Amino acid sequence: MVRREVHWQRQRAWGALDGICSRERGRARMELDEGEDGGSVKGPRDLRICLLVIARDCAFRQQHRQKDSTNQEVPLGTVILMLPSCSCCLAPWMLPRPSLSLLPRFCSFLPFATMSSKTSTFHLQQPLNYRAGARIQPVDGSHSEEVYEPATGRVMGKFLFSGEKEVDLAVQSAKAAFKIWSQKSGMERSRVLLEAARIIREQREEIATMETINNGKSIFEARVDVDISWQCLEYYAGLAGAIAGQHVQLPGGSFAYTRREALGVCVGIGAWNYPFQIACWKSAPALACGNAMIYKPSPLTPISVVMLAEIFTQAGVPNGLFNVVQGGAATGQFLCQHRDVAKVSFTGSVPTGIKIMEMSAKGIKPVTLELGGKSPLIIFSDSVLENAVNGALMANFLTQGEVCCNGTRVFVQREILEAFTEEVVKRTQKIKIGDPLLEDTRMGALISRPHLERVLGFITQAKEQGAKVLCGGELYVPDDLKLKNGYYMRPCVLGDCRDDMTCVKEEIFGPVMSILPFDTEEEVLERANNTTFGLAGGVFTRDIQRAHRVVAALQAGMCFINNYNISPVELPFGGYKMSGFGRENGRAAMEYYSQLKTVCVEMGDVESVF
Contact 356, 347 (CB under 8 A): no
| Residues with Cβ within 8 Å of residue 386, at least 6 apart in sequence | 423
Q: How many residues does the chain have?
A: 610
Kindly name the residue from 370, 402, 507, 521 that is annotated as catalytic: 370
Strands of the sheet containing 134-136, edge to edge, are 134-136, 129-131, 322-324, 292-296, 265-269, 341-347, 367-370, 580-581
CA angle 119, 490, 428 (to 5 degrees): 130
End-to-end CA distance of the chain: 85
* 539 burial level (CB within 10 Å; 0-12, 13-18, 19+): buried
* Residue 545, φ and ψ in degrees, nearest 5: -65, -45
Cis, bond preceding 127 (omega within 30 deg of 0): yes
Other C-beta atoms lying within 10 Å of the C-beta of residue 476: 16
- Distance (Å) of CA 469 to CA 167, 409, 421, 425: 47, 15, 12, 10
What is d(CA 322, CA 284) in angstroms, rounded to the nearest whole number? 11
Residues 96 and 194: beta-carbon distance below 8 Å: no
| 195 carries an active-site annotation | no
Distance of alpha carbon 511 from alpha carbon 399, whole angstroms:
8
Short-list 393, 344, 377, 348, CA closest to 556: 377
User: What one-character-per-residue DSSP string does 107-162 give?
Assistant: S-EEEEEEEETTT--EEE-S--EEETTEEE--TT---EEEEEETTTTEEEEEEEPP
Chain mean position to CA 110: 21
One-letter amino acid at 143 equals H
In 10 A of CB 361, how many CB atoms?
A: 11
Active site residues per annotation? 370
